[in-house]
Structure 1
């Protein structure tokens, strides 16, 4: 397991492990509940930039060490620099990380345990998929300290209905994992002892598919979501036509007709 950027090389704040086409990034500030310090955001951005250019990676898992997934921004660090320009740059930096997750060509799965609050909840909402233990809890709790979770609300309202999101935002209340699954913030809620297996199964299902098709699909899904219906269909039709011209699609169709397992090529 290799270390990503951190202020203390003896205690790396972000770990990366690659195995069988799956890259696992682990937030590693357990004593701070993996709060998103400036150094953590920089480490995440650096790894996401590397992953974007790494054709060997077919799926990314975002995990965390210690008792929590992520408690949001580092409030102590934020309070030390009470300047508008500093806060504007900090939240823009965080927003770039969240957008970089969705811009990756491969799917990203959040592996959630413990709490995911404020920007930590935003991190879950920014991932393409999420699996959580039954003990996990989610909140956008900035309102409890007088700070409306504006940037987390962007991811939250793109995952769950607006009235449910708004209630979370103005009350700061927690929801449990099963509620998060029912509302669409996560895909699955599982027993704590089944969490690793559930994440591994989902990642393996993705790795087993054509990497070219996955890349076409992820980019298309997010782009068409912002379009009018007719524009979305026109764009999707063009993407599908280009996808079917790829060797993987031809191989997949031939394999289906010949009743055999397809042999996928490398990402385009």
Structure 2
């Protein structure tokens, strides 16, 4: 990992830079659509592991090298002719582990999508906490077109955009424009290509102005209540709220609000 705004050397599968409380991870296989090879997945998970231990980092931006393809999904070259089921099992375990790792990451993860996001690339977008896309971005889970159902992407899609919208994408394999992705809730905002990076940075800075402890606790609380019954979700929320009130940052934030001043986060 490199400090400042200078990325690591171009031979790396993942380029990493840090500026203040914001880290940027860039998938760096543009020649093959930034597809998720086993090596790239391992590299990305390793960078996330490092950032997980850095409490001063509050936001992670996930992008793809080049403007043509954000991520083309799983690297099909690793599937072709592969008969060893254990190798395939490990490959899928690494990929699904990456998605779960992003969801469990202490930092807020923002996807910056330029170009196309397909299959596991679309899954990657759905796994991130927030997603901003270029007006030229397009999204698809086209496995059905090549005789392979997008089994793992459906997990994130169903939970992000709902059953009906996920099935429309999964059964047709169509390529949908950014406007449609925004309408169904797959992404948060659409920006003109030349304005996308500035918009992502602005959002990251806004989030980074909050207390790191609250962002971490909030992300954990949000994930934990999802999928529970309303009664169980509220029971968990009450417990988390009571614990949160005892935190130094909550005490400082409430005091600052009442005193009409800026909070000084611990």
Cα displacement (A) at 1:10 = 5.9
Counterparts of 1:188 and 1:179, CA distance in 2: 11
Please report the TM-score for the alignment, with normalisation by the length of structure 1. Answer: 0.94
Query: Is the aligned partner of 1:204 residue 2:222?
Result: no
Report the Cα offset of residue 84 of structure 1.
Answer: 2.4
**Contact 2:56–2:212 under 8 Å retained in 1:** no
> Aligned-pair distance for 1:80?
4.3
- Pairwise CA RMSD of aligned residues? 1.4
**Map of 1:17 onto structure 2:** 17
Q: Determine whether 1:167 maps to 2:164.
A: no
Q: State how 1:224-239 maps to structure 2 within 5 Å.
A: 224-239=225-240
Name the CA distance, whole Å, in 1 between partners of 2:137 and 2:51: 27
Counterparts of 2:138 and 2:131 in 1: how far apart (Å)?
13
User: Following TM superposition, by how much is the alpha carbon of 1:86 offset from its aligned partner in structure 2, in angstroms?
Assistant: 2.1
Structure 2 residue aligned with 1:75: 76
| 1:87 shift after superposition | 1.8
Indicate the residue corresponding to 1:146 in structure 2: 147
Q: What is the CA distance between 1:43 and its match in structure 2?
A: 0.4
CA contact (8 A) 2:182 2:188 kept: yes
- Which one is further off, 87-96 or 129-138? 87-96
Inter-CA distance 80–54: structure 2 relative to 1 (3 Å threshold): farther
Tell me the CA shift for residue 161 of structure 1: 2.2
Rounded to whole Å, the distance in 2 between the matches of 1:79 and 1:86 is 12
Q: Give me the whole-angstrom Cα distance separating, in 2, the residues matched to 1:12 and 1:105.
A: 24
Q: Counterpart in 1 of 2:6?
A: none
Query: Which residues of 2 match residues 37-56 of structure 1 at below 5 A?
Result: 37-56=37-56
* Residues 10 and 231 (structure 1), Cα distance of their counterparts in 2 relative to 1, 3 Å cut: closer
Structure 1, residues 166-214: CA drift from partner, whole Å, max 9, x if none? Answer: 1110110011111111100010011101101110111011101111111
Q: Distance in 1 between matches of 2:35 and 2:91?
A: 13
1:264 aligns with 2:265: yes
Q: Which runs of 5+ in 2 are unaligned?
A: 4-8
Measured after TM superposition, the shift of residue 163 of structure 1 is: 1.2
Which residue number in structure 2 is paired with residue 136 of structure 1?
137
Normalising to structure 2: TM-score of the pair? 0.95
| Deviation of the 1:83 alpha carbon | 2.7
**Structure 1, unpaired ranges of 5+:** 4-8
**Structure 1 residues 68, 246: closer, same or farther in 2, change over 3 A?**
same
2:10–2:28 contact (8 Å) kept in structure 1? no
The separation in 1 between residues aligned to 2:173 and 2:72, in whole angstroms, is: 13
Tell me what 2:33 maps to: 33
The Cα offsets for residues 221-244 of structure 1, whole Å up to 9 and x where unpaired, read as 011012111111111111111111
Q: Name the CA distance, whole Å, in 1 between partners of 2:41 and 2:219.
A: 23
